[in-house]
Structure 1
Amino acid sequence: MYNIGMRSLRKYCCIAFVSAALLPWNATAVNHEALTTRLFIQNKNTGSVERMLVQTLQAIKEGRLQQALDYVDQLLAISPNFALAHLIHGDLLSAKARILNGFGDANAANLNRIQDLKDEAEIRIRNYFDQNRGLTQPNLLVELSEKQTHVLFVDTARSRLYVYEKSHKDTLKYLADYYVTIGKNGIGKKDQGDKRTPIGVYFASRKLNRPLPDLYGDAAYPLNYPNEIDSYERKTGSGIWIHGTPRDTYSRPPRASDGCVVLSNPDMKALQDILQLGNTPVVIGVDFQWISPESLKQQAQAKSALKVALENWRKDWVSQDTDAYLAHYASDFFYSEGGLSKWSGYKRQIQANKPKVSVNLSEVSMFTYPNSAKNMVVVDFEQEYISPALRNVMKKRQYWVQENGQWKILYEGSA
């Protein structure tokens, strides 16, 4: 009789099958019909892979070896380069001739590789039975600008990327989710070469057009790591991308990259229209909490308060009331040239003559900075500034934090 031999996974599978019903794979209808169709189809394909993986392991657990072999054959027909499926397939064939002592026993020479595949199996199964996926959204304050249509959330604890679309009434709609690989050494990137994935709010630029090694698969989209907070905290390194897998590999283990976020090539293709727009918001966090309708109301209130603070900042700038204007800045504010003291001196000098100015903001977006010690939100907007001597239009970025219960600006600069 086949003995899968990894107690934690068997126990997990047993608990999952007893306590959770299989989840239907679905997607929400959206205006961008072609994009939605592509995401829906690929999400179903990703779901089929994980469904057949679960069915295979269930059949093994119940001793139905031939049915398990049929399932894994179907799985390999869909994803012929799926290493985890090949490992299980080899075990099942060997089980016909002898009792196996453990998962991957037919290929026991490479224990590290087998452990990687065990980890991938566990995390894919856990996602399959995640009853919260797609019901609401992560517990983060999020507002997309008029030009932004989608936001990507990467949950490093779940090895999952979630796609949400801007919907009516200032809400987000779930569209799809995909398995991802993160850094070999986990999260919290600090240093060049530490092989960790950064945590924060980033923006993906358009696809790199130069030839790349096969390691990066069919496409690569750079993230703006280090961002302003990363640089201020003296974090080093660069080259953090969202990219695909080598062409002979369906997926990589949950922790296998040098810090990048890695998807299968078919999943990358499904996301190409979103990412190719450029400046796509990518929120990378740890173990997102999925919120209830009641919590959505709380987030709406927090968002409203921040919008009021932003508008009051704009009004106080236009009024040239320097003290009121500077009161919007946090005590530990910083910008490219220094801190609050230098910023205050610069602004007082400019506003000393009370010039008549006009300041208009548009294309405002807001994203909670995940897993931050402070309640922090990244706010981007297009700023039009007009004075007797100057007219300037620029993309601006601010980081707002709560200080003594009030929203204050921690950082300000061009985006």
Structure 2
Amino acid sequence: MYNNGMRSLRKYCYIAFVSAALLPWNATAVNHEALTARLFVQNKNTNAVERMLVQTLQSIKEGRLQQALDYVDQLLTISPNFALAHLIHGDLLSAKARILNNFGDANAADSTRIQDFKEEAEIRIRNYFDRNRGLTQPNMLVELSEKQSHVLFVDTARSRLYVYEKGEGDVLRYVADYYVTIGKNGIGKKDQGDKRTPIGVYFASRKLNRPLPDLYGDAAYPLNYPNEIDSYERKTGSGIWIHGTPRDTYSRPPRASDGCVVLSNPDMQALQAILQVGNTPVVIGVNFQWVTPESLRQQTRTKADLKSAIEDWRKDWAAQNTAAYLSHYTNDFFYAEGDLSKWASYKRQIQANKPKVSVHLSDVSMFTYPNANRPMVVVDFEQEYTSAALRNVMKKRQYWVQENGEWKILYEGSA
């Protein structure tokens, strides 16, 4: 009876590991013990909870019941509210007494919940071993401003949040990554209450200080959804946050939130120093591609082209060359008060007498807008405008898009 139960558990774990394309495992553990140990050492940056989970499943796959029980017992000592670990623990104990046909058979009353646990286990395994594939950073144009030290990337397909910090020469340096939960109905938020997570570039404000229901865990950081593109596309809804889990819950299934990005409370605490600064860029996308030497060279060229376009726009504005200045805007340009026609009329009026002005830009940041239907980059900067009658300093945001190989402005407004 015990052997039959263990065979079923080992079969599930084998399928989970292979389906995640982890390693060319075979049916014996002898040839892989040294390699497994090396992988666990390489993944030392992973939090202890996830590492022990993978070690538990690996031990089950290799048929080492007692070692698996030891690992899961340690895991539950660290995180007694980790429901997935309780499920595995129950399966291990039940396998001694009766035949288990599938993962979670010991608690098979709620098939939907069991499926959620299976998906969480598979995603955690896949991402754990992804670190051994030489992942660098998402293949996106990114430049942090002088005041920004970190950027967060949320890959909804991987249920993963990646943390990068600004290194020397504006090169991004990997810091950590964490399992996350996204919306019950997936991604592509459009409507209020659709329980989907939005895709785009957002900025997290500081922690909410008001009392919140236990659902939101130890902390909540609002994102600026809907952003300017969302509003233009008439997307509705609000209250998209990065937040924790209830006190009695370590983690939630991959798709379980009302649209928010949810992390475990320990992971939220690890991010607190980064998020509490405020205005932290959060790029939410699907299936990020990882940068290669060639794509990095291409991104460098693209960034140089965009910077050149921004500088030409600044110069044409400072020179009060209205025709050249307006040529930097797309035909479908929009701003808070209207479209290109209204913008052009306003600019022609105030530039008619060609007053002497100066325009200075500083603290520039750039972020590729993920999964857009055309190349798009969100550009923020501090703008100082000076004329004989006015001196104005403001934070400005522009969305630049590529049209026929040229960078043009789709949106402009205060940030």
Range class of TM-score, shorter chain: over 0.9
Deviations 1:293-339 (A, max 9, x none): 22211111111110110011000000000000000001111111111
Q: Which residue of 1 aligns with 2:74?
A: 74
Q: Which residue of 2 aligns with 1:49?
A: 49
Q: Which residue of 1 aligns with 2:15?
A: 11
Instruction: Say if 1:118 and 1:396 are closer, same or farther in 2 by CA, change over 3 A.
Output: same
Cα drift, residue 77 of structure 1: 1.5
Amino acid at match of 1:124: R
Q: Which residue of 2 aligns with 1:188?
A: 188
Deviations 1:130-177 (A, max 9, x none): 146774210000000000000000000110001000011121000000
Q: Which residue of 2 aligns with 1:62?
A: 62
Amino acid at match of 2:152: L
Structure 2 distance, partners of 1:408, 1:23, is 46
Amino acid at match of 2:277: L
Structure-to-structure mapping, 1:122-271, within 5 angstroms: 122-131=122-131, 135-271=135-271
Structure-to-structure mapping, 1:307-322, within 5 angstroms: 307-322=307-322
Q: Secondary structure at the match of 2:383?
A: strand
Deviations 1:241-298 (A, max 9, x none): 0000001111111001000000011110111111000000000000101111222111
Structure 2 distance, partners of 1:339, 1:6, is 61
Cα drift, residue 98 of structure 1: 1.1
Structure 1 distance, partners of 2:373, 2:109, is 44
Q: Secondary structure at the match of 1:130?
A: helix
Structure-to-structure mapping, 1:354-373, within 5 angstroms: 354-373=354-373
Cα drift, residue 49 of structure 1: 2.2
Would the aligned equivalents of 1:369 and 1:376 in 2 still touch at CA under 8 Å? yes
Instruction: Say if 1:24 and 1:55 are closer, same or farther in 2 by CA, change over 3 A.
Output: closer
Cα drift, residue 360 of structure 1: 0.5
Instruction: Say if 1:388 and 1:133 are closer, same or farther in 2 by CA, change over 3 A.
Output: farther
Structure 2 distance, partners of 1:171, 1:58, is 35
Cα drift, residue 6 of structure 1: 9.4
Deviations 1:27-66 (A, max 9, x none): 9xxxxxxxxxxxx9xx54x2x3223222222222233222
1:99 aligns with 2:96: no
Q: Secondary structure at the match of 1:324?
A: helix
Structure 2 distance, partners of 1:58, 1:144, is 39
Q: Secondary structure at the match of 2:130?
A: coil
Deviations 1:216-240 (A, max 9, x none): 0000000000000000000000000
Q: Secondary structure at the match of 1:129?
A: helix
Q: Secondary structure at the match of 1:252?
A: coil
Q: Which residue of 2 aligns with 1:34?
A: none
Structure 1 distance, partners of 2:216, 2:116, is 19
Would the aligned equivalents of 2:12 and 2:102 in 1 still touch at CA under 8 Å? no
Cα drift, residue 13 of structure 1: 1.5
Structure-to-structure mapping, 1:335-350, within 5 angstroms: 335-350=335-350
Structure 1 distance, partners of 2:399, 2:81, is 43
Q: Secondary structure at the match of 2:303?
A: helix
Amino acid at match of 2:17: C
Would the aligned equivalents of 1:6 and 1:103 in 2 still touch at CA under 8 Å? no
Normalization by structure 1: what TM-score? Answer: 0.92
Aligned residues: 399
Give unpaired runs (5+ residues) of structure 1. Answer: 28-39
Q: Which residue of 2 aligns with 1:400?
A: 400
Amino acid at match of 2:118: K
Would the aligned equivalents of 2:13 and 2:61 in 1 still touch at CA under 8 Å? no
Structure 2 distance, partners of 1:67, 1:26, is 21
Instruction: Say if 1:351 and 1:228 are closer, same or farther in 2 by CA, change over 3 A.
Output: same
Amino acid at match of 1:394: M
Would the aligned equivalents of 1:316 and 1:322 in 2 still touch at CA under 8 Å? yes
Structure 2 distance, partners of 1:71, 1:9, is 15
Q: Tell me whether 64-73 or 87-96 shows the greater mean CA deviation.
A: 64-73
Normalization by structure 2: what TM-score? Answer: 0.92
Structure 2 distance, partners of 1:387, 1:369, is 34
Instruction: Say if 1:256 and 1:132 are closer, same or farther in 2 by CA, change over 3 A.
Output: same
Structure 1 distance, partners of 2:51, 2:381, is 42
Would the aligned equivalents of 1:134 and 1:174 in 2 still touch at CA under 8 Å? no
Would the aligned equivalents of 1:9 and 1:122 in 2 still touch at CA under 8 Å? no
Would the aligned equivalents of 2:188 and 2:196 in 1 still touch at CA under 8 Å? yes
Q: What's the % identity of the aligned pairs?
A: 79
